[in-house]
Amino acid sequence: MPTDSTEPTGPLARVALTTAAAGLLRELTGRHGPLMFHQSGGCCDGSAPMCYQLGEFRTGASDVLLGRLRVDGVPEPVPFWIAADQYAYWSHTHLTVDVVPGRGSGFSLEAPEGVRFLIRSRLLTEEESARSPGQGTGSSTST
């Protein structure tokens, strides 16, 4: 029997992109090659997501791969890592990467563009929590 296409199936994507963030990632990928995000609760830019060239920021056992962001026009998904302690705080939320005017951290690739990446979050619904894969390995898409 076919599955009703309105019923959500499979693991929940825990991170997504706005259209503006996807556009900026296309531009940055064109200039810098494959990219990655790391979300920490550290100093520098507070808890803003930092965008790096893929592999420029070392991840390890204290990081969680929350998802791989697929962006139209970008050949490789953009991995989104989050520090394990931050994941513990945000495990009940869905994160959306957005772009806002203003100067972010000097470490993140968008800093010279006069914009910065920003996280918008919302609580997961009960249904989403049930579908959540825990420590993420999911993927997300954006246009």
- For residue 42, what pLDDT band results from cuts at 50, 70 and 90? low
Q: Please give the Cα distance from 86 to 63 (Å, whole number).
A: 9
pTM listed for this prediction: 0.83
Residue 4 confidence (pLDDT): 29
Range picked from 70-74, 83-87, 108-112 for highest mean pLDDT: 70-74
Longest dimension (CA), the chain: 54
- Give the bridge partners for 63, in sequence order: 83
